[in-house]
């Protein structure tokens, strides 16, 4: 079970199934024991009644035992007719074990008669009850030996026996009912357990949904609804709200620090760049000093670009980076940006192609931001395309959406790296420093993602190692999206 709801359902259903099974087994065994006790009481009552009848006839002066034509002692016919009404097996013997009467409703062979006679003789004139198996592998006969007493000298012992088939037959409907209802009870327990688990975990699902919607630093101001009942779920909601409060404060402090630091660094970097540029123009500058100054100027320019990018992202995170929307012909913007891309591609030995529709594609966008997005994608494509490769900038319009993208035949991106390409300061290759052959700080694609989402669009990437990469930006053709902040 991969979910708590599934495990709770399984535990509840299993527990209730075990409880129902234990109840059924206990009830069946209790009923079975009571039925056998009732059977023992019945044969004891029949033995007492039979002995009482014999004693009553004897005290009244009637004939109890008489001799038949063969000279053998037999119970009087009147008593035989009376005792035949006893429903269970009845045997009456004299004190020496001679059989005077046996029920006609039960057929016993000679060996079985002898076995019962031995039980009577073994009783020694004492009351005894027990069980005996007359046939190997057959049913057990429950019996009771009851002495008649001195009131009837001719009849010494009464034996009453009953087979348990009647008890077993009476229990079979109960057992069948149990076997029929137990699976239904287990099934009902499963659905009841699922329902209880659903009701118990429903607040947790709501909390999960609320937390899932807090996707970036811009939604940390949201709080979870706290139930009035301060149970485990209420305490969990309060704990998560406290954590969100701490995260919001930390994110706010980090954004303020980034924005303040970037803003404060712009002035000294501008002064440094002006000083280096002025020093480079000094006449008769030694070549070694000039090379050092040029390298310093390059680093200052990279640092200035990084500071500007960080300041842009910080303002976007704070929601203070507005977009200046106006109707812009993306066809013209793509063609103009493609010319800049051709210069970059020419320096890198890469072929540059631009594909755009013949008609204008007018969309309400921030022209400078869209130009920045396209240049970021072109720069990234040229940077990772070996000499002799090809970069294509394309624009198309379909189904009320505008798509623009950049495709290259470069080194590609590994599948494990694709989810991270838009993360800040992340680069797919191991050379992440400014001294690598592919310099950069890993913020260009993060900026591009913000620009696309700020215009209500999306940016996707498809890539295969060694086969190239394609970045696709999809924008609404005539929409004014409310989203103006990036996801971090």
Query: Can you give the pLDDT of all 488 residues of the chain as single tens digits?
Result: 567 778 888 888 888 888 888 888 888 888 888 888 888 899 899 989 988 888 888 887 777 788 877 778 888 888 888 888 888 888 888 877 788 888 887 677 777 778 888 888 888 778 888 888 877 766 678 889 988 876 666 677 888 888 877 777 777 787 788 888 878 888 888 888 888 888 877 788 788 887 877 766 667 777 777 777 777 778 888 888 888 888 877 777 766 766 666 667 777 878 887 888 888 888 877 888 888 888 888 888 877 777 777 777 776 666 656 778 899 999 999 999 989 889 989 888 999 999 988 888 899 998 988 998 999 999 989 999 999 999 999 999 888 789 999 999 999 888 888 888 888 777 655 433 334 454 555 678 888 888 888 888 999 999 988 889 999 999 987 644 433 344 33
The pLDDT score that the predictor gives to residue 196 is 82
- For strands 390-398 and 351-355, give the pairing: parallel
pTM above 0.75, yes or no: no
DSSP secondary structure letters along 335-398: HHHHHHHHHHHHHHT-EEEEE--SS--EEEE-HHHHHHHHHHHHHHHHHTS-TT-EEEEEEEEE
CA dist., res. 323 & res. 395, Å (int) = 22
> Does residue 319 sit in helix, strand or coil?
coil
The correct answer on CATH 1.10.287.130 for the domain covering 232-318 is yes
Which residues in the chain are classed under CATH 3.30.565.10? 326-476
Which residues in the chain are classed under CATH 1.10.287.130? 232-318
The pLDDT score that the predictor gives to residue 382 is 92
Which residues in the chain are classed under CATH 3.30.450.20? 4-170
The pLDDT score that the predictor gives to residue 271 is 82
The pLDDT score that the predictor gives to residue 147 is 87
List the one residue out of 220, 222, 218 whose CA is nearest residue 314: 218
Taking a C-beta distance cutoff of 8 angstroms, is the pair 450, 483 a contact? no
User: Strand (E) positions, 288-334?
Assistant: 326-329
The pLDDT score that the predictor gives to residue 395 is 92
Residues 6+ away with beta carbon under 8 Å from 292: none
> Which homologous superfamily does the CATH classification assign to the domain defined by 4-170?
PAS domain (3.30.450.20)
CA dist., res. 47 & res. 55, Å (int) = 12
Residues 6+ away with beta carbon under 8 Å from 296: 276
At the top level of CATH, the class of 326-476 is: alpha beta
For 382-399, b/e burial (b = at least 16 CB within 10 A) is bbbbeeebbbbbbbebee
The pLDDT score that the predictor gives to residue 471 is 94
Q: Token digits for 26?
A: 């206990």
The pLDDT score that the predictor gives to residue 232 is 77
């Amino acid at each position: 079970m991969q979910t708590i709801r599934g495990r709770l359902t399984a535990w509840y259903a299993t527990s209730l199934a075990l409880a129902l099974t234990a109840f059924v087994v206990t009830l069946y065994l209790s009923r079975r024991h009571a039925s056998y006790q009732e059977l023992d009481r019945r044969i004891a009552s029949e033995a007492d009644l039979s002995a009482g009848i014999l004693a009553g006839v004897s005290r009244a002066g009637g004939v109890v035992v008489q001799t038949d034509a063969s000279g053998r002692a037999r119970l009087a016919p009147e008593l035989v007719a009376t005792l035949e009404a006893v429903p269970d097996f009845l045997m009456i013997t004299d004190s020496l074990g001679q059989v005077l009467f046996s029920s006609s409703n039960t057929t016993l062979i000679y060996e079985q008669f002898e076995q019962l006679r031995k039980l009577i003789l073994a009783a020694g004139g004492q009351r005894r009850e027990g069980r005996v198996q007359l046939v190997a592998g057959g049913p057990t006969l429950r019996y009771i030996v009851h002495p008649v007493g001195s009131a009837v000298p001719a009849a010494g012992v009464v034996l009453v026996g009953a087979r348990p088939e009647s008890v077993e037959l009476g229990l079979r409907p109960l057992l069948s009912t149990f076997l029929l209802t137990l699976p239904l009870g287990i099934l009902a327990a499963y659905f009841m357990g699922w329902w209880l688990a659903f009701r118990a975990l429903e607040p947790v699902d709501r909390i999960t949904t609320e937390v899932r919607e807090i996707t970036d630093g811009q939604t940390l101001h949201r709080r979870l609804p706290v139930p009035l009942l301060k149970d485990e779920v209420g305490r969990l909601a309060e704990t998560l709200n406290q954590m969100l409060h701490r995260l919001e404060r930390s994110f706010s402090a980090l954004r303020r620090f980034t924005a303040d630091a970037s803003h404060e660094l712009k002035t000294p970097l501008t002064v440094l760049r002006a000083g280096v540029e002025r020093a480079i123009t000094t006449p008769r500058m030694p070549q070694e000093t000039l090379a050092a100054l040029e390298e310093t100027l390059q680093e200052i320019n990279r640092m200035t670009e990084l500071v500007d990018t960080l300041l842009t992202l910080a303002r976007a995170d704070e929601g203070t980076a507005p977009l200046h929307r106006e109707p812009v012909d993306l066809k013209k913007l793509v063609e103009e940006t493609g010319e800049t891309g051709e210069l970059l591609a020419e320096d890198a030995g890469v072929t540059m192609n631009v594909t755009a529709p013949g008609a204008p594609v007018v969309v309400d966008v921030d022209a400078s931001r869209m130009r920045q997005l396209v240049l970021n994608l072109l720069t990234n494509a040229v940077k990772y395309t070996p000499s002799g490769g090809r970069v294509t900038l394309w624009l198309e319009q379909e189904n009320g959406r505008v798509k623009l993208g950049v495709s290259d035949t470069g080194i590609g991106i590994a599948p494990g790296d694709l989810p991270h390409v838009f993360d800040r300061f992340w680069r797919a290759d191991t050379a992440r420093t400014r001294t690598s052959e592919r310099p950069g700080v890993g913020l260009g694609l993060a900026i591009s993602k913000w620009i696309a989402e700020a215009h209500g669009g999306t940016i996707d990437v498809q890539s295969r190692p060694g086969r190239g990469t394609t970045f696709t930006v999809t924008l609404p053709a005539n929409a004014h999206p409310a989203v103006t902040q990036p996801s971090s």
